[in-house]
Structure 1
Amino acid sequence: MAFESEDRAKAYWDKNVKLMLSLLAVWFLVSFGCGILFVDVLNQIQIGGYKLGFWFAQQGAIYAFLAIIFYYAWKMRQIDREFNVDE
């Protein structure tokens, strides 16, 4: 990966880190927040006969994680094109 300048490389890395930290925060909120911290509030809602807190702990966090993976790949492709480091 070759950048035109040190500033462009720093800007690329800053965008990458910002994206990773924001997605990690979403992952934490979905997996730990919805599955553990907010489970009592979420259990008042039911989906398919199962309490929503249980659903997030069992399946919802997995679906959210998969969505985060696909979003990260899509967004990084855009960032790579923006900084002219795509394949």
Structure 2
Amino acid sequence: MSQKNKNASAYWKENIKYLALLLVIWFAVSYGAGILFKDALNNFTLGGFKLGFWFAQQGSIYVFVVLIFVYVRIMNKLDKKYGYDEAD
């Protein structure tokens, strides 16, 4: 296996690891906060709405958008680390 193939394999392994972690975070926020822990979170309010309802309706979407920006930042660092950045 050539060095280029080893780099590509390591790159995708690390990419999948980060992607899985971010998806777990999104799942925990959307399913956990919006459905599983809704009753406990509804004891608190945010903007006049119960917190469990807020997470189910808007919070998980906001977290998803933030995770997109986090993923872009992580991938830019990963691209530089493995020499796939656009600065060639």
Both structures adopt the same fold (TM-score exceeding 0.5)? yes
Q: Which has the higher contact order (CA 8 A, sep 6+)?
A: 1
Q: RMSD between aligned alpha carbons?
A: 1.3
Structure 2's unaligned 5+ residue stretches are none
Matches within 5 A, 1:1-87: 4-87=3-86
Q: How much identity, in percent, do the aligned residues show?
A: 49
Once the 2 structures are TM-superposed, how far is the Cα of residue 4 of structure 1 from its aligned partner? Answer: 4.0
Runs of 4 or more above 6 Å deviation? none
1:51 & 1:45 partners in 2: Cα distance?
Answer: 6
Structure 1's unaligned 5+ residue stretches are none
Once the 2 structures are TM-superposed, how far is the Cα of residue 6 of structure 1 from its aligned partner? Answer: 2.1
Could you tell me the TM-score, scaled by structure 1's length? 0.92
1:22 & 1:48 partners in 2: Cα distance?
Answer: 30
